[in-house]
Structure formats: structure tokens, C-alpha cells
């Protein structure tokens, strides 16, 4: 995945019971922030959301933000369906995408 490419992503916790949808133009650095809890009072840090289960690439940040808003506005059921379409086991895909451990 090219570093400049914009993505919408979904993180969850070990039990897959809390979901976070985000958007970024630098997934590697954004995941670093989440995994290292560089913002300790953030939602992702409080709920220990460190498992990347969904990524959708976009060519423009405008399109990515629009998609993020669409996903956030949807129900949990819709988010689960979106994740399970390509990742039925809810596997952490960060290592396969970016070489994270």
C-alpha cells in the first residue's frame, strides 16, 4: 500500500466488542500512534483498540472522509458485515499490510 494513499480503517479490541472507524493519509504512522497509545486519553487507548480488521483505500482524502462518515453513521450490524465480507475471522491485518508485529 502506498504511503500517500488515503484509507478508512476499523480497529477493534481483543474481544471484537468495540469498534473504531478512522481515516488517514498515513496508515503506518496512525497505527503506530494507536498501538503505542501516544494519545493516552483517546477512545482507542481507553478501550485498547489495537487490532486492525478493515481497510478501504481511496485516492482522495475527500472521498475517504465521506466514506468514513457513511460507515460511522451505520449500525454496528452494518460494520460487522463490512468487516466480515473480507475478514470473516476478524484477523489483525496490520502485519500483512505493513509488516507490524
CA distance 15 to 1: 27
CA distance 68 to 31: 16
pLDDT of 99 reads: 66
Mean pLDDT value of segment 69-73 = 98
User: What tens digit of pLDDT does each residue of 18-67 get?
Assistant: 999 999 999 999 999 999 999 999 999 999 999 999 999 999 999 999 99
Q: 3 or 96, which is more confident?
A: 96
Superfamily of domain 6-98: GIY-YIG endonuclease (3.40.1440.10)
The domains of the chain are located at: 6-98
pLDDT of 93 reads: 95
Counting Cβ atoms within 10 Å, is residue 4 exposed (0-12), middle (13-18) or buried (19+)? Answer: exposed
pLDDT of 95 reads: 84
pLDDT of 3 reads: 45
Note whether 90 and 12 are within 8 A (CB): yes
Q: Is the pTM of this model over 0.85?
A: yes
The answer for residues whose C-beta is within 8 angstroms of residue 38's C-beta and 6 or more apart is: 32
Instruction: State percent of the chain over pLDDT 70.
Output: 93
pLDDT of 98 reads: 72
Amino acid at each position: 500500500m502506498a504511503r500517500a494513499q488515503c484509507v478508512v480503517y476499523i480497529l477493534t479490541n481483543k474481544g471484537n466488542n468495540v469498534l473504531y472507524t478512522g481515516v488517514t493519509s498515513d496508515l503506518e504512522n496512525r497505527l503506530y500512534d494507536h498501538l503505542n497509545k501516544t494519545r493516552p486519553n483517546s477512545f482507542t487507548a481507553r478501550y485498547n483498540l489495537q487490532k486492525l480488521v478493515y481497510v478501504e483505500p481511496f485516492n482522495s482524502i475527500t472521498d475517504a472522509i465521506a466514506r468514513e462518515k457513511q460507515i460511522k453513521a451505520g449500525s454496528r450490524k452494518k460494520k460487522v458485515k463490512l468487516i466480515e465480507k473480507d475478514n470473516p475471522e476478524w484477523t489483525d491485518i496490520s502485519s500483512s499490510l505493513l509488516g507490524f508485529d
